[in-house]
Amino acid sequence: MAAETHAMDAPDATARRDLAVRAAVEQGLVGGAEGAPPLVCLLDVAGIRASAAALTAAFAAAVAPGTPVLHAFAVKACPLVPVLRLLAELGLGCEVAGPGELALARAAGVEPQRTVLDSPAKTVAELREALALGIAVNADNRQELDRLDELVAGAPTRSPLGIRINPQTGAGTIDALSTATATSKFGIALRDPGAREWLVRAYLDRPWLTRLHIHSGSQGVPLSLIAEGVRDLHALAEEINTAAGRRQVDTLDIGGGLPVNFASDAETPTYAQYAAALREAVPALFGGRYGLVTEFGRSLLAKHGLALSRVEYTKTTGGRRIALTHAGVQLATRTVYAPAAWPLRILPYDAKGAPKTGPPVPQDIAGPACFAGDLLATARDLPELAPGDLIAVPDTGAYFFTAHYGYNSLPRPPVHGFRTTPAGGTRFTPVRPAQPPASLVTEAGGDFRDALL
């Protein structure tokens, strides 16, 4: 068992974080001690549990008694097996977007019946495997539906099957993440000429199509726009069932996409607010006529991840102070390439892991990669940093250090979960080891060194 650093009991997320930073230094997980790594990433287990509980409680309070609800965590947001295992123990399933994510979900022990396969480019082999396992599949396009026709005719399946639609309700503030624009690559465009009629006929011709799927939300998309898409999905299901003369569509997969607040520690919007927005826009959604599937990712994990790096050097260039750290594009790829859309907070700590105070000085927080734009923050007002200090980057538990970018062959950093003990200590458990150099060599074709000679 890892050593523990004792302090006051800290149920609050901010206090847990400060205790974890100090404990990480004292226990040699990061910092300037001999052999301590210069970079570590942390996951707050209590925070993850709280988010999962808030999600399940919000929907349990909203739906009619007995309504089946599956919360399928979007694996792409945090593809770490121990995280998937924890969420499975908390009652969540997995939404996967390819064979790699499916392998992770299965390694975590997630049952096929609690797994959903979504992807705009599924191969025949992927579809066949999903149907053999009984995994739910949402077809993205007409050609994929043709493939399913052949596969379903060739072998019976227990898989719930549906079609993803694009409601074309519009974009949010981040174009690259807006999946409900007029020309989005995802799903059947609902407002294109003839599309609605084609969809109704597709269901009438295929009694085994029992689900409808949408995912129109993501970071930068307001709740009102997400709810509008779900309203359109519900209306289409009602139209199909009326035309069929029976309850053919029995489950609505409403996706995820709840945005995250990156400006402070406040967790907003909440799942309760999301459910309230849906209730206002689609009053019949929770009436029990349809089972529900959700696919949240970022909102479950983002606030509970922390990247912690040693400041290696500081310097002044052109009158600007620069702190050179080990946290950069390999962890925060989106922030580095699109800083206006993905700003991150920087929290300063001293070499012992205590919050650093002092007069604010504009500083650039630079990463280790060899290109000029590898910056987590520019001219950020912080207490003046010095070599050996630490910078913590909160809100990075989804799509940041969990999805590594291999520029400069920078290795994947170690990831640890942390818990506050009853005695007020902090206990760490390994989630992912640091990537050794030998692994990088293997990935780079080291076993085939002479192949091109």
Q: Give me the active site residues, please.
A: 370
- Say how far apart CA 363 and CA 365 lie, in whole Å: 6
Task: Quickly count: other Cβ atoms within 10 Å of residue 278's Cβ.
Answer: 23
DSSP state of 76: G
Residue at token pair 């409808």: 212
223-262 in b/e burial notation, b at 16+ Cβ within 10 A? Answer: bebbbbbbbbbbebbebbbeeeeeebbbbbbbbbbbbbeb
Amino acid type, 250: D
Task: Provide the token pair at 99.
Answer: 């064979």
Amino acid type, 203: Y
User: Between β-strands 136-139 and 188-189, what pairing exists: parallel, antiparallel or unpaired?
Assistant: unpaired
- Say how far apart CA 28 and CA 99 lie, in whole Å: 37
- Say how far apart CA 364 and CA 366 lie, in whole Å: 6
- Say how far apart CA 441 and CA 435 lie, in whole Å: 11
- DSSP SS3 for 376: strand
Cβ neighbours for 439, distance < 8 A, ≥ 6 positions apart: 411
- Say how far apart CA 205 and CA 240 lie, in whole Å: 11
Cβ neighbours for 35, distance < 8 A, ≥ 6 positions apart: 28
User: Between β-strands 320-325 and 375-383, what pairing exists: parallel, antiparallel or unpaired?
Assistant: unpaired
- Say how far apart CA 297 and CA 151 lie, in whole Å: 30
- Say how far apart CA 254 and CA 211 lie, in whole Å: 10
- Say how far apart CA 434 and CA 412 lie, in whole Å: 6
Task: Provide the token pair at 5.
Answer: 């650093």
- DSSP SS3 for 58: helix
